[in-house]
Amino acid sequence: MKLIAALVICLKIISLFEDSVGSTITSWEHRIRADLLRNYDRKVRPVLKGKREAEVLFALRISRLVKVDNKEQVVVLDTWVIQSWKNEFLTWNSSKYGDLQRVHFSPEEIWVPDTALFNNGDDKINLAGGPTKFVTDVSVNNKGRCVWSGPATFKVNCEMKVDEWPFDEQTCELAFGSFSYGKNLLRLKLFKEERRFTNRFVKSGDWEITNITAKISETDHGNCCPFNFSEVVYTLEMKRKYLYYMFYLFTPTVLLTILALSSFLIHVESGERIGFVTTILLAMTVFLLLIPSFLPVTSDGIPILGINLQVTMILIAAVLFANIFVLRVYFKEGTPPNWMEKLCSFKKGSRLRRIHLPQPDSTYPLALKSSMTTGIEASECTRTPAFAQPLEVQEFTWRRVSARMDLVFFVLFIIASSIAYALTFSTTNSSWEHHIREDLLENYDRKVRPVLKGKKVVEVSFALRVSRLVKVDNQEQLVVLDTWVIQNWNNEFLTWNASQYDDVDRVHFDPSEIWVPDLALFNNGDDRINLAGGTSKFVTDVAVDSKGRCVWSGPATFKVNCEMRINDWPFDEQTCQLAFGSYTYGKNLLKIRLFKDNRQFSTRFVRNGDWDITNITPSLNETDHGNCCPFKFSEVVYTLTMKRKYLYYMFYVFIPSVLLTILALSSFLIHVESGERIGFVTTILLAMTVFLLFIPSFLPVTSEGLPVLGVNLQATMILIAVILFANIFVLRVYFLEGTPPTWVEKFCNFFSLKKGPEVRSLTSSRPSSVYPSAAKSLATTAGIELNDFSRGSSPLVKPSLVPEFTWRRVSMKLDQIPVKGSDNRLALLDNYDMNVRPVIGKKAVEVAFGMKISRLVKVRWKNEFLVWDSKAFGDVERVQFLPSEIWVPDISLYNNGDDTTTLAGGRGKFVTEVSVDNKGNCVWSGPATFKANCDLQIISWPFDNQTCELGFGSYTYGDDRLNIKLFVDTSGEFTSRFVTSGDWSIMNITKRITKTSHGDCCPFDFSEVVYSLKMSRKPLFHVFYLTIPSTLLLTLTLTSFFIPVESGERIGFVTTMLLAMTVFLLLIPSFLPETSDGVPILGISLQATSIIIALVLFGNIFVLKVFFTNGTPPQWVRNLCLCWRRKGKVSKRVDVNGSDEYPIPSVNSPPSLNAIELSTASTRATTSHGWEEKEEQITWQKVSAKLDHFFFTFFVIISAITLCTVYLVNQ
């Protein structure tokens, strides 16, 4: 037992010893931190001798290349940043602290260098460095060596060169340095180790980093600072991996090119050529619409692959031109000239062959002679072999020429494609202010209403002025407004005798220091904030005069719940109310009044492109909050009446739908036998369907009602579908057999429709053997019935003409039915009040303001409280202060357009430290990103120049308290690392000082500095990717008049072009500015192109209608055609001499029979009555040919005039 007891005692002693050791270790670390941080000032540079510079070793190692954005011209990098320096204040004798040689501090506890990325491209943070970027602890050893190591993601502005995309190599620089410490105070040096990548570096799938170099340099921040700054610059050389783009972009275009070239192998008579190549061109057009998501959007140059894609499209279009030419040659009449035969180099032996033709005889009618020339063997039609005679007929025809042209074009385009691809890829009184504030705030309770008599009502004057109507959201039923809110009340506790305070009659308070009304928006629609008002919404200071009059003025963005009525969309007017009041103070404690000033808009109001605010009326009401409160609340209601501008929707939505409807109705003018009707209307229905797919992005999504335009679009869709059904019905009626019933004939007569050409029955006594089978077939096709021929009767008998009411006549009637439808710092900050202006007396604070493009803002002023004798402080002439420690001007951007930032300025926007010298001169310099409201004129888009103003000033200090002056800077308006934009050029920047008024709220003016930026858009991108394709589609459409009618390709070709243009227009709104204040040049040009294509389609339909018209043209048409003819040669017709004469009915079938002329030697026949030649009348087919020439010339002139007018007049 004694042994066991002794063992237990030993174990307890060991345990107590271990606990003591662990406790001692922990206490040593705590004691080191406590001893080092006692009286430590984290803003003092870590050197004992004031003038000695602090050396910071800097290293950057790449962990991953995240992204290279050609469009935004930024590079995103995951990095590991290491900084090391010596802090002479943080040293200790480790032997006195248990040999503990290293402790850790938070960056907020000790001095850390404010090294940041100069060319920061992240618009979400202003300072890409310091404690805001590097969040790890700082490791410090007993000799004062500090190491700050940790990860950081940087977004770097980098100018990209896209000419060789995707085979490009890019060079990007990352410049790190301090915004506040000059090189005489902080000097950057590089680590000796040259590692450029971390141990866990991850390669990028798109880019390869070929080299990283680092160097130390010096830079200046302009005239603001009489010293240079140390910086370290890392240069990254990167090379793009192009396999992805070659596989998914280049390969498909090559494939489409090969397919287009293979069109020359398709036989002409298959009728598939034009449709095949047109479909490939359509596929290439749709493919090009998706390319901008890959290509860098910039007008500084055109990338290689972009040029290649455009060359491919032009090449396919050229192939289409060639095929049209081949078809025109193929269907050409007559014999090719001799030079054409020599050019084709055919052998003579292959040009002739013998066929047997019968001797001309009266037994062969004219129709049969036509059939001979089409290759029908006439020998079998002869009545006796004695008539057979050898006849030589030329075999070298235009068809042989077209075949040879196919071969030539095929080889030519293969060579052209190869060359194109090869060429493409080869290449107090603020002290008195202080006393006033101290005296007033002593024992002040900010929660007590500002009245001496407890039951007295606080009257608050309220004014709301609209700066911009940001957005009207029909789907969420919200209205977003940028406003200027002014509140004015009397605080009976905050009064003083100005004569006792050196005539200081106005001071400023933070809203959290004094009582302010808790007025808020009752119908708040912003789900990110609970209370849209009070100190959470209005962040500016409150100006208070000696009589206790308080003015609280500042900007605010409100998101308002508003019930929308969308039945009249887009011709609707909306009424929206903004109700402001208190949630806690009833009307017996707080009463709202309106300012006498009835201004509705701020001085920098920016109009909305979609809405006009027609009226704003304020009214005072009383409201109750239910049974919770036995009293009512005072509220002010602003009623906004808004009217939508509907030009945008009419131009881009309504007009195209009307155009599609008219085109669908024109289908009833297409001849049934052309075979184009169903395809034509189906294509229009397809175009309308594709068009409707994009309409939901315009229409409000709600079930409360149907908007007018939505109903119109659906009705248009239904109407086109009904037209398709009607055309199907007409076709079915047309091809019915038999005779229609009597009621159908009466139905046709009921509409008083004009009788069409009658189908006649022809009866003759000519023997049947005289008319061979080919003639009978031809006659049947023409509508001629050969009946009751008697072999024994030789003379021709006068035919009997019998009108026949057929189903074809019924279908014609149906077509015509109308359709509707730091130390010294401690001494300086002792009893310092950061809210007191930095002047002694009533004089104004002069603030020099300067701004450089690339997000560098500089502010300089003099603080008379922050002065010291540098000799008494080791010759230290400059120290740094946080903006929250000393007074800083609340200069901000008046025309702020960022709805995420209420006050675009002051401590909330500028986060760098303030550099102060021993004479009190303060310099506040750092980066800032501004989003400014700017009224843009888009009429000349994309050839427009814009002027935008940025107005900076104070919301609370009048010009007698704060006077802004311009910074004298000769280094220009741009930073040394300014990166040009790929879309815009800044032509000029001017600046001026003005005075502005905030209205009746404030009986004094405010000092303001205004920067005017003149910018010019670079139009190359838009011209290259928008204008050229649309012009190409228009040119291709005009070539439709060269396609022979007989090929059956016209309507399908132009309809496909219209479909391509429609699909192209659907993606155009992503490029065009969406506004109803005007229509841009390019928008008018594209819409005009679409209308011209539609008119070309109408022209082709009219030509087809004329071509298939029966009968003989009237005399005025023949005279007009004769005037157009260059020669007087007229085709022949045959009349029968004698008492019996009748015209051969026109053949409404294969038009090739009409197009072939017989030679004189083989087409003359005589009968007992005699046949003789006589000049034939001009046919409707000849008229349609003349119309082709007229329409082509007319539309070429119209297109040129329209495009020139659109571009030149607007310029």
Residue 525: pLDDT band by 50, 70, 90 thresholds? confident
Residue 277: pLDDT band by 50, 70, 90 thresholds? confident
Question: Which of the 8 DSSP states describes residue 560?
Answer: E
Q: Indicate if 458-644 has the same CATH topology as 28-240.
A: yes
Identify the top-confidence range among 314-323, 698-707, 757-766: 314-323
Residue 763: pLDDT band by 50, 70, 90 thresholds? very low
Residue 826: pLDDT band by 50, 70, 90 thresholds? low
Please count the residues of the chain.
Answer: 1211
Q: Token pair of 538, please?
A: 């209005």
Q: Is the predicted pLDDT of residue 461 greater than 80, yes or no?
A: yes
User: How far is residue 772's CA from residue 518's CA, in Å, rounded to a whole number?
Assistant: 106
Cβ neighbourhood burial of 348 (10 Å; 0-12, 13-18, 19+): exposed
Q: What is the pLDDT of residue 58?
A: 94
Q: What is the pLDDT of residue 816?
A: 61
User: How far is residue 619's CA from residue 17's CA, in Å, rounded to a whole number?
Assistant: 80
Strands 169-177 and 229-240: antiparallel
Q: Is the predicted pLDDT of residue 488 greater than 90, yes or no?
A: yes
Residue 344: pLDDT band by 50, 70, 90 thresholds? confident
Residues 511-538 have a mean pLDDT of 86
User: Which of 583-587, 602-606, 1129-1133, 1206-1210 is predicted with the least confidence, judged by mean pLDDT?
Assistant: 1129-1133
Q: Is the predicted pLDDT of residue 836 greater than 60, yes or no?
A: yes
Q: What is the pLDDT of residue 331?
A: 83
User: Hey, what amino acid is at 429?
Assistant: N
Closest Cα partner for 187 from 54, 43, 48? 54
Residues 652-665 have a mean pLDDT of 83
Q: Which residues contact 1095 (CB under 8 A, 6 or more apart)?
A: 1195, 1198
User: How far is residue 749's CA from residue 813's CA, in Å, rounded to a whole number?
Assistant: 9
End-to-end CA separation in angstroms for the chain: 112
Reported as a single tens digit per residue, the pLDDT across 840-884 is: 655 677 787 777 675 567 788 888 888 998 888 888 788 888 888
Task: Using the Cα atoms of residue 255, residue 261, residue 266 and residue 269 in order, give the sign of their dihedral.
Answer: positive
Reported as a single tens digit per residue, the pLDDT across 1056-1108 is: 888 888 777 776 777 766 677 777 888 888 888 988 988 998 898 888 888 88
Q: Token pair of 590, please?
A: 């707080």
Residue 231: pLDDT band by 50, 70, 90 thresholds? very high
Q: Where are the domains of the chain?
A: 28-240, 245-337+406-421, 458-644, 649-735, 840-1017, 1021-1113+1181-1209
Q: What is the pLDDT of residue 1014?
A: 93
Q: Containing H/E element for 1204? A: helix 1180-1204
Reported as a single tens digit per residue, the pLDDT across 164-223 is: 888 889 999 999 999 888 888 899 999 987 788 987 888 888 899 999 999 999 988 777
User: How far is residue 995's CA from residue 1183's CA, in Å, rounded to a whole number?
Assistant: 75
User: How far is residue 705's CA from residue 338's CA, in Å, rounded to a whole number?
Assistant: 74
Residue 659: pLDDT band by 50, 70, 90 thresholds? confident
Q: Is the predicted pLDDT of residue 798 greater than 70, yes or no?
A: no
Assign domain 245-337+406-421 to its CATH superfamily: Neurotransmitter-gated ion-channel transmembrane domain (1.20.58.390)
Q: What is the pLDDT of residue 731?
A: 75
Assign domain 840-1017 to its CATH superfamily: Neurotransmitter-gated ion-channel ligand-binding domain (2.70.170.10)
Topology at the third CATH level for domain 28-240: Acetylcholine Binding Protein; Chain: A, (2.70.170)
- Reported as half-sphere exposure (CB side, CA atoms, 13 A), residue 124 has a value of 5
Residues 214-240 have a mean pLDDT of 88
User: How far is residue 5's CA from residue 11's CA, in Å, rounded to a whole number?
Assistant: 10
Which is more confident, 78 or 880? 78
Residue 781: pLDDT band by 50, 70, 90 thresholds? very low
Q: What is the pLDDT of residue 824?
A: 56
Contact 42, 119 (CB under 8 A): no
Contact 856, 221 (CB under 8 A): yes
- Summary mean pLDDT of the chain: 78
> Beta strands of 106-253 (E only): which ranges?
116-117, 138-141, 145-157, 169-177, 186-190, 197-202, 207-219, 229-240
**Coil, helix or strand for 650?**
helix
Question: Which CA distances in Å does 65 have to 62, 167, 190?
Answer: 7, 18, 22
Residues 744-768 have a mean pLDDT of 52
Closest Cα partner for 88 from 59, 111, 114? 111
User: Which of 343-357, 485-499, 583-597 is predicted with the least confidence, judged by mean pLDDT?
Assistant: 343-357
Q: Token pair of 1001, please?
A: 């709220």
Q: Is the predicted pLDDT of residue 224 greater than 60, yes or no?
A: yes
Domain 458-644, what architecture? Distorted Sandwich (2.70)
Question: Which CA distances in Å does 610 have to 495, 613, 766, 838?
Answer: 48, 10, 80, 47
Closest Cα partner for 1163 from 363, 354, 370, 352? 370
SS3 content of the chain, % helix, strand, coil (to 5): 35, 25, 40
Q: Is the predicted pLDDT of residue 768 greater than 70, yes or no?
A: no
Q: What is the pLDDT of residue 593?
A: 93
Residue 833: pLDDT band by 50, 70, 90 thresholds? low
Q: What is the pLDDT of residue 501?
A: 87
Domain at 1021-1113+1181-1209, CATH from 1.20.58.390, 1.10.150.530, 3.40.50.300, 2.60.40.290? 1.20.58.390
Which is more confident, 1023 or 1150? 1023
Residue 1144: pLDDT band by 50, 70, 90 thresholds? very low
Q: Which residues contact 817 (CB under 8 A, 6 or more apart)?
A: 751
User: Which of 230-234, 458-462, 803-807 is predicted with the least confidence, judged by mean pLDDT?
Assistant: 803-807
Reported as a single tens digit per residue, the pLDDT across 896-939 is: 888 777 788 888 778 788 888 889 999 888 888 888 888 888 88
Q: What is the pLDDT of residue 803?
A: 52
